[in-house]
Structure formats: structure tokens, C-alpha cells
């Protein structure tokens, strides 16, 4: 059985990510992301996420998404659980 159960992450989910929970993150910054798509191919405990980091809840860029990164599954779960 896979250690990673499929995560249902609706578009528009707000993810508050701490610096250690996403990559690549060469500047080591926290990031707020408003999800557009989450891809279910785990990479070492991370999932690819596309979304907006520009204006939460009201994207103000012309692109369909403007942020992409690998996010720690545990961080996504914590956000979905509403503990942030």
C-alpha cells in the first residue's frame, strides 16, 4: 500500500508554506499559495503544485498560474486540516 494516499486539494485552496516545506527555495522564504492544480506524482514526499502567489483569493496576474514548486505532503495535509 502506498504511503501516500491521494490528496484532494480543491482549486483555490490557500496553502501557507514555511520555508522548509517547499522547493526549490534558494532564498529560504515562507510562501503563501492559492492552488490551481496539484499533481499526484509524489517525488520523495513532495507533490508538484501550481498556483498563484501574487494575490491570494484574487489573482491579479494574467497567467493561469504564476507559482510552481514541490510542496511537502505533510505541509499540504496541515493546511487542509485547517491548523494554519
For Zn ion, the binding residues (CB under 5 A) are 52, 54, 59, 61, 66
- 80: CB partners within 8 A, 6+ apart: 7, 9, 13
Nearer to Zn ion, 41 or 60 (CB): 60
Q: Nearest approach, Cβ of 63 to Zn ion (angstroms)?
A: 6
> Considering beta carbons, is residue 9 or 66 the nearer one to Zn ion?
66
Q: How far is the CB of 59 from Zn ion (least distance, A)?
A: 4
Output the smallest distance, CB 67 to Zn ion, in A.
7
Choice between 59 and 69, CB closer to Zn ion: 59
Measured CA distances, 21 to 17, 34, 45, 50, 62 (Å): 6, 15, 10, 15, 27
Amino acid at each position: 500500500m502506498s504511503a501516500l494516499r491521494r490528496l484532494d486539494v480543491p482549486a483555490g485552496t490557500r496553502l501557507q508554506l514555511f520555508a522548509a516545506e517547499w522547493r526549490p527555495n534558494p532564498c529560504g522564504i515562507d510562501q503563501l499559495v492559492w492552488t490551481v492544480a496539484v499533481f499526484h506524482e509524489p517525488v520523495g514526499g513532495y507533490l508538484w503544485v501550481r498556483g498563484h502567489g501574487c494575490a491570494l483569493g484574487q489573482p491579479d496576474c494574467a497567467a493561469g498560474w504564476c507559482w510552481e514548486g514541490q510542496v511537502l505532503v505533510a505541509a499540504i495535509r496541515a493546511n487542509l486540516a485547517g491548523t494554519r
